[in-house]
Structure 1
Amino acid sequence: MYIPEHFKIEDDEIIYDFIEKYSFATLFSQHNGEPYATHLPLILNKDENALYGHFARPNEQWKDVENQQVLVVFQGPHCYISPSWYETTKAVPTWNYVSIHLYGKMEFVGDRKVKFDSLNDLVNKYESPDSPYNLNDVDPSFIEGMSKGIVAFKITITKIEAKAKLSQNHPVERQELIIKQLENTSKQDEIQVASLMKKNLKKCK
């Protein structure tokens, strides 16, 4: 990923927080000699420096992906930035966004307990705290049958690229104008980008 120095995220905790918050990712590999992508939720295990997830078995990406160097993209909030918001007419439109790229080697998870634990982690992450649903309460034979329809995997992370393009290359006064415009909307991406820009400005001041 192309990352100018002023857009680079180097703080691991910030990177991990983004991965956990925006965990619905795009997984790229080579399949039948062509680029191929699957969109799916992934769980980060910081202790193992790894990602866990699963393919639907009919998705044939799994058939030739093991031991490949794969790319996983986590996309954070993003939005259009209008030059009409600036204090000058010498400007062009741009796009603000946060994106994390992880590279790694994939291996399949055959161990039943590890496979169940990775599924359970997904359920626990996305179910609301007051939800009555618990994977441990489901009939084990039903879980076993459903598990035959998936291919669980682990990606050991070998490289991370992280980018936050939040108008850091513009003067502070202009960044503040952008934030004001973004906050004057009900669109969630714009509001989230404005919040990230404010946090970044505070760190710089």
Structure 2
Amino acid sequence: MHPNAAFAWDDTEALRAFAQDIGFGTLFMATPQGPRVAHLPFVFLAENRIGFHIARNNAMTQYLDGAEALFVVNGPDGYISPDWYGMDNQVPTWNYCAIEMQGNMRQMTQDELIAQSDALSLFQEAKLAPKPLWDRSKMADGYFEKMLRGILGFHMDITAWRGTRKLGQNKPDTARNAAADGAEQAGKRDIADMMRRLP
């Protein structure tokens, strides 16, 4: 994560809420064939446990059970032009929010995989209200079971959280807000909003 202490984000409750709202990230792991990544939706199963499923034939799947891995969730980001600060002697930069969750992987049982799959879809479907909730009862008989044969479920017990919110905290408020205006005009509304919401 970014070495500048001004950008450190160490509020675990806020990190968890932010990661959960995004619900998608990248799993990184070293394997005998070299480093591998997978891009996955996930859901929190407990305070410090995430669950996901991955294609059975993914290059990293055979190495996951019992391994230590890193799961990264990226939030909004955007280029920041030096012109936007209204200050002399500034340089271009990139503002962003990111969370790293490090932990130990364990393969799920079939029942745990089904529960994880249901929890993931329910959590995401609830965000779409007032649309009626979708659930697997709407699938043809046997189709869900067929799909399960192509995936494996895993959970990560998180042993370390690392977060970065690089939002211009090292600039005066007026300069940061001016840069947020520039970012919004450039189409980066999400990162601009986060820059403005800093205490």
The normalised TM-score by structure 1 is 0.89
Match of 2:30 in 1: 30
Deviation at 1:99, TM superposition (A): 0.3
Deviation at 1:44, TM superposition (A): 1.5
Tell me, what secondary structure is at the counterpart of 2:197? Answer: helix
Matching residue within 194, 199, 202 for 2:197: 199
Structure 1 residue ranges, 4+ long, deviating more than 4 angstroms after superposition: none
Cα offsets for 1:141-182 (capped at 9, x unmatched): 322221111011111101000010000011112112112222
Tell me, what secondary structure is at the counterpart of 2:54? Answer: strand
Determine if the alignment matches structure 1 residue 91 to structure 2 residue 90: yes
Cα offsets for 1:2-55 (capped at 9, x unmatched): 3321111122221112101222100001122411000010112334x1010011
Match of 2:2 in 1: 2
Match of 2:150 in 1: 149
Match of 1:165 in 2: 166
Tell me, what secondary structure is at the counterpart of 2:142? Answer: helix
Cα offsets for 1:41-72 (capped at 9, x unmatched): 0112334x101001111113110122111000
Match of 1:125 in 2: 123
Where structure 1 has 5 or more consecutive residues not aligned to the other structure, the ranges are: none
Aligned sequence identity (%)? 28
Moved more, 87-96 or 77-86: 87-96
Structure 1 residues 61 and 168, CA, compared in 2 at 3 Å: closer, same or farther?
same
- Asked if the contact 1:27–1:40 (Cα under 8 Å) also holds between the matched residues in 2, the reply is yes
- Asked if the contact 1:74–1:99 (Cα under 8 Å) also holds between the matched residues in 2, the reply is yes
Deviation at 1:132, TM superposition (A): 5.3
Name the amino acid aligned to 2:189: I
Cα offsets for 1:102-147 (capped at 9, x unmatched): 00000000142x2111001121123323145212443563222211
1:49-198 matched pairs, under 5 angstroms: 49-112=48-111, 114-127=112-125, 128-129=128-129, 130-131=131-132, 133-139=134-140, 141-185=142-186, 187=187, 190-198=188-196
CA distance in 2, matches of 1:93, 1:18: 26
Moved more, 133-142 or 51-60: 133-142
- Asked if the contact 1:19–1:44 (Cα under 8 Å) also holds between the matched residues in 2, the reply is no
Tell me, what secondary structure is at the counterpart of 1:37? Answer: strand
CA distance in 1, matches of 2:196, 2:2: 24
Where structure 2 has 5 or more consecutive residues not aligned to the other structure, the ranges are: none
CA distance in 2, matches of 1:33, 1:3: 30
RMSD: 1.6
